Amino acid sequence: MAAAAFSPSFFFSLSSITDSEGKNDNVISTVNRFRNPGSLLLLRHCRGTRISCSSTASDPTSVHHHQQLKSRRPPEENIREEACRRDEANASHGFSACYVPFDAPADTAETYSLDDVVYRSRSGGLLDVRHNLSALKRFPGSHWRALFDSRVGRTTWPYGSGVWSKKEFVLPEIDPDHIVSLFEGNSNLFWAERLGRDHLGGMPDLWVKHCGISHTGSFKDLGMTVLVSQVNRLRSAPLNRPIAGVGCASTGDTSAALSAYCAAAGIPAIVFLPTDRISLAQLVQPIANGATVLSIDTDFDGCMRLIREVTAELPIYLANSLNSLRLEGQKTAAIEILQQFDWEVPDWVIVPGGNLGNIYAFYKGFEMCRELELVDRVPRLVCAQAANANPLYLYYKSGWADFKPMVAADTFASAIQIGDPVSIDRAVFALKATDGIVEEATEEELMDAMSLADRTGMFACPHTGVALAALFKLRERGVIKTNDRTIVVSTAHGLKFSQSKVAYHSKEIANMACQYANPPVHVKANFGSVMDVLKKKLEGKLSL
């Protein structure tokens, strides 16, 4: 199979299809991404004319037409036909995006091309990617819903990705040849049936969005595919920008995602990591992917300050979520949730927060769908912080009166051990706009919540534990009601944080009861000893 996958014939296919007007289109597609990393070459014969074709954007105007065809044709032929219609569709519809200062008025004169290397506004504030909504509004919400639904799980580059299936809402103008995608997104929305029923007072409509079940094991893949694709575009002809590499400071997951996407595209990655403050699994990811890894004797906030200084001096593109491109990819998780509920809007979405880009990205995804009439409202957002790293929580509790950056203390939720969040303004905006709430979780609360979730079939990370602990508190206070449709966002794969689970189940953690610990039973290697243990376990029970 491996040999076949690399042979040119595997990627060479010729099919003859008939379009709606009854003409024959020959489509030849040759994919050479595996031999020439980061580039995808599609050569097609459309209506007898050979075109060297880079765009594989399906024309949003033709969705309904394709749906009619679905009933008549095998799926593979529809994909081929779609490939022949989509050229230049985005350009002709005027879909575009640019940077503007965060929360700028609609008529702001301060705009930047996405091809500019710019991270801050003229006044030093955050930037935001603004889409040409009037162009997108020429199509009704029903149209976008049908288009996005039609692309789920497709093999057509780049639409199989949960991010690039929403390309018009993300980076409408990027050429698919420049996209660096590892099939991110399309993550499971886990029905937390047992957790809701047995531990949250019979909550029937509780779901966990498993963003961490992804190529590098965290939601960071969603944003990184967008940022690295844009860098790939900047470095490639015709722009040929002199960008030597891409750099980030990280609490572990951003560096893992950056390193993998850069390695796939052949772009150098440089990552600044706080020594001894990330998990071993996270540390080994950029090492394995060949990034330049600097382990720096400071915390995340210290690494962040250093990377900003360094990227101001060297031709290294800054990949932190200060860079608003990342949020364009991350916002697709919100759109995906709506899609997974057949475009019904949930009541609550709970997101663990550290640097606070993700909570805004969720807001942006939901709000864009509301504004473009894919849905008619947005859910209430909850941002959940570790009590040891809770500057947003304290700000919220002060009635948004007094924001104080802090030095964050150690937490098992190490990826959110951040005391001076870059996206604080974005988070406050998102929470105010959605009648949102901020909650916090102590170390014991977050580890217990994570471990209880594991007992109902999950393998959650401690950050997901923070969000789950917030849910427990909001249920206890009656803020979230039994029948509210509630989503907890799981941000990373539990396997990246197995050390914390080992410590918990070994009951090794000082001042923590570890009430759900389930340590292995050490047994001598003989029948009698094994039987003794199992009989004891079965006492009073019919089965294991």
Ligand X SMILES: Cc1ncc(COP(=O)(O)O)c(C=O)c1O
Complex with ligand SAM: residue 13 or 398, whichever CB lies closer:
13
The single residue listed with the structure tokens 């697709």 is 332
CA distance 303 to 83: 44
Instruction: Pick what 251 binds: ligand X, ligand SAM, none; C-beta below 5 to 8 Å, kind-dependent.
Output: ligand X
Q: Is 157 in the site for ligand SAM (CB under 6 A)?
A: yes
Least distance between ligand X and beta carbon 355 (Å): 3
Structural contact between residues 74 and 50, judged by C-beta atoms closer than 8 angstroms: no
- Write out the residues near ligand X by the rule CB under 6 A: 218, 251, 253, 321, 352-358, 415-416, 461, 463, 491-492
Burial 75-105 (b: 16+ CB within 10 A, else e): eebbbbbbbbbbbebbeebebbbbbbbbebe
Least distance between ligand X and beta carbon 253 (Å): 3
Q: Is 175 in the site for ligand SAM (CB under 6 A)?
A: no
Helix (H, G, I), strand (E, B) or coil at 6: helix
Task: Count interface residues toward ligand SAM (CB under 6 A).
Answer: 19
Backbone angles phi, psi at 90, to 5 degrees: -60, -45
Q: Is 148 in the site for ligand SAM (CB under 6 A)?
A: no
DSSP 156-186: STTTTSTTGGGHHHH-TT--GGG--------
Q: Which of 470, 472, 448 is nearest to 460 (CA)?
A: 448
The DSSP letter of residue 270 is E
**Binds ligand SAM (CB under 6 A): choice among 102, 119, 148, 164:** 164
What are the residues facing 272 on neighbouring strands?
A: 249, 294
Which residue in the shown chain puts its C-beta closest to ligand SAM?
160
The DSSP letter of residue 42 is E
Least distance between ligand SAM and beta carbon 13 (Å): 6
CA distance 199 to 178: 47
The DSSP letter of residue 357 is H
Instruction: Pick what 29 binds: ligand X, ligand SAM, none; C-beta below 5 to 8 Å, kind-dependent.
Output: ligand SAM
Q: Is 183 in the site for ligand SAM (CB under 6 A)?
A: yes
Complex with ligand SAM: residue 191 or 516, whichever CB lies closer:
191
Binding mask 17-46 for ligand SAM (x = CB under 6 A): ------------x-x---------------
Least distance between ligand X and beta carbon 241 (Å): 27
CA distance 151 to 269: 31
Identity at 266, one-letter amino acid code: G
Instruction: Pick what 342 binds: ligand X, ligand SAM, none; C-beta below 5 to 8 Å, kind-dependent.
Output: ligand SAM
Instruction: Pick what 358 binds: ligand X, ligand SAM, none; C-beta below 5 to 8 Å, kind-dependent.
Output: ligand X
CA Rg value for the chain = 24
- Which residues of this chain interact with ligand SAM, rule CB under 6 A? 13, 29, 31, 155, 157-161, 164, 181, 183, 188-191, 340-342
